[in-house]
A and B are shown apart, each in its own frame.
Chain A
């Protein structure tokens, strides 16, 4: 009798707790029905504002400043005497600021050709799901570049322009791919055989290996005449870069191999003469650090 009573109490208790769960599930359903419909924007298509040499669709967030250091060493095939390129290096220092979440302006200075560059980026479309369903992101990019190495040239002759449409889709948490139609215009070209205008199509992508590490690759196919040579007699080539992104809290480190020495569009798309096949490969890295100037962040820094 006692056992039976106990059993029935247990049964009743079990039933009651099932009803509790059921009740809470019904409540959850009611909450979900009332959930305001929102647009879920895709974030972190790429870890940084660069895939490797070229820009990604990412912009710097509002009131944030991104300080980026690019470094490229000399060619691996320059031999043991030059420590496989490590004896010489080129550098670009860049500052990029987010005017809004969608508009970035910036400037930089490269040691290659003693170059100053000014850039602007604007997000035109953002990949999203929910109330607004857009399958990819589009960012417009424009830059003007002034190469000041040759003092005898006029400012106009030193200047080049680049515009790009950056079109990217984050296919999954791991895979993002980007397509970059590019138009480059040089006021002055290195040799008479060259056209001032140059069209190119860039391809880039990243594959996340784990939460903090991704494998990146980038290729710019420049539509120039065949066998075009630069002033030194080296044939121009397309820029190819392969590397990894490592993210460590506040910094993004990008380590890579590339056949380009320039770190701005005009140079790595327009002036690359190194060939992967011959071993004209340079080791390089980008380090970026972002600072928030959001008012709410004030007082949070110690």
Chain B
């Protein structure tokens, strides 16, 4: 009995893994964030977000280079990289997880989804579940999700000497459009 369960589970799992040819990806997804402060607002956008989704297993990985966040105020950008995110030490933010809902990726439409996994920012990993929407249209998969990041959860320090007060939670918006994966190796 035990063996049967084991073999069954393993083969079932690996079947999904091996069959994982249904890959969708992008390297120009858009991640932006916004934070309101009493003096001026802080906003930045990264247009080079990378995402890959395996539609047979629901595995998803999203990552981006922190240095590619573009700020209208370049001094803020420098401070973001140098003092807060420390992008030389922690160059990437990464989410590795799985979409929880069973979705028929062959059917066009928009579905509410959630993804659970590991969110790594500033070298600190946190288990997170992000809620969002998936839009399936001819040959492409659109993913959108809005979530908040609490700075303290990721050991991002806001020093007391800073004149400009920075909100403790940052609103993050993501808009990714995935196309069938083509290896560029």
- Asked if A33 and B183 make an inter-chain contact with CB atoms under 8 angstroms apart, the answer reads yes
Residues of A within 8 A of B63 (CB): 28, 31
B5 in contact with A24 (CB, 8 Å): no
CB-based contact A44/B82 at 8 Å: yes
A302-B96 contact, Cβ under 8 Å, with A27-B54, A212-B159, A292-B75: no
Residue B111, interface by CB 8 Å: no
Q: Which of B1-53 contact A (CB under 8 A)?
A: 1-3, 5-6, 8-10, 13-14, 17, 20, 23, 25, 27, 38-41, 43, 48, 50-52
Minimum Cβ distance to chain B for residue A166 (Å): 19
**At the interface, yes or no: B177 with Cβ under 8 Å from chain A?**
no
B5 with A15: CB separation less than 8 A: no
Residue B152, interface by CB 8 Å:
no
Per a CB cutoff under 8 Å, which of A11, A19, A297 touches B14? A19
**Does A4 have its Cβ within 8 Å of any Cβ on chain B?**
yes
Query: A22 contacts which chain B residues (CB < 8 A)?
Result: 17
Tell me whether A249 is interfacial, beta carbon within 8 Å: yes
Given contacts A15-B9, A30-B181, A31-B50, contact A292 B74 (CB under 8 A): yes
Cα A296 to Cα B17 in complex, Å, equals 45
The answer on a CB contact under 8 Å between B2 and A4 is yes
- Measured CB to CB, the closest approach of chain B to A67, in angstroms, equals 12
- Minimum CB–CB distance from A29 to chain B (whole Å) comes to 10
**Docked CA distance A19–B58 (Å):** 13
Number of chain B residues whose Cβ lies closer than 8 Å to a Cβ of chain A:
57
Interface residues of B: mostly helix, strand, loop or mixed?
mixed
In the complex, A26 Cα to B48 Cα: how many Å? 20
Task: Classify chain A: how many residues form its interface, as a range.
Answer: 35 or more
Q: Check B82 against A33 for contact (C-beta < 8 Å).
A: no
Q: Kindly provide the distance from the CB of A238 to the nearest chain B CB, expressed in whole angstroms.
A: 32
Which residues of chain A are within 8 angstroms of B5 by Cβ–Cβ distance? 5, 8-9, 12
Determine the chain B residues whose CB is within 8 A of the CB of A250 once the complex forms: 75, 163-164
Residues of A within 8 A of B83 (CB): 211-212, 247
Given contact pairs A5-B1, A15-B9, A20-B98, A212 touches B161 in the complex (Cβ within 8 A): yes
**Would you list which residues of chain A between 54 and 107 have a CB under 8 Å from chain B?**
61-62, 64
A13 to B94, alpha carbons, bound, how many Å? 24
Asked if B40 and A301 make an inter-chain contact with CB atoms under 8 angstroms apart, the answer reads yes
What's the minimum C-beta distance from A5 to chain B, rounded to whole angstroms? Answer: 7
Minimal Cβ-Cβ distance residue in A for B95: A24
Q: Are B61 and A31 in contact (CB under 8 A)?
A: yes
Cβ distance B122 to chain A, nearest Cβ, rounded Å: 13
Is the C-beta of A133 less than 8 angstroms from some C-beta in chain B? no
In-complex Cβ contact of A30 among B1, B25, B48 (8 A): B25
Q: How far is the CB of A298 from chain B (nearest CB, A)?
A: 8
- How far is it, in angstroms, between the C-alpha of A9 and the C-alpha of B9 when the chains are bound? 9
Task: Please state if B163 and A35 are interface contacts (CB–CB under 8 Å).
Answer: no
Q: Which residue of B lies closest to A294 (CB)?
A: B72
Q: Considering the chains assembled together, what is the distance between the CA atoms of A16 and B48 in angstroms?
A: 32
The residue that A248 contacts in the complex, of B17, B20, B161, with Cβ under 8 A, is B161
Please give, as numbers and ranges, the residues of chain A lying within 8 Å of B61 by CB-CB distance.
Answer: 24, 27-28, 31
In the assembled complex, the Cα of A34 lies from the Cα of B164 at a distance in Å of 39
Which partner residue on chain A sits nearest B1 by CB separation?
A: A5
Task: Tell yes or no: A234 within 8 A of B by CB.
Answer: no
A290 sits at the interface (CB 8 A)? yes
CB-based closest 10 A-B pairs = A12-B9, A61-B74, A296-B72, A297-B72, A8-B2, A292-B73, A24-B96, A27-B61, A249-B162, A294-B72
Known: A24-B117, A212-B161. 14 other contacts (CB 8 A): A5-B1, A15-B9, A27-B52, A31-B27, A34-B25, A34-B181, A61-B74, A173-B88, A212-B159, A247-B79, A249-B163, A290-B74, A300-B43, A302-B39
Contacts from B to A (Cβ < 8 Å): 1-3, 5-6, 8-10, 13-14, 17, 20, 23, 25, 27, 38-41, 43, 48, 50-52, 54, 57, 59-61, 63, 67, 72-75, 78-79, 81-83, 86, 88-89, 94, 96-98, 117, 159, 161-164, 181, 183-185
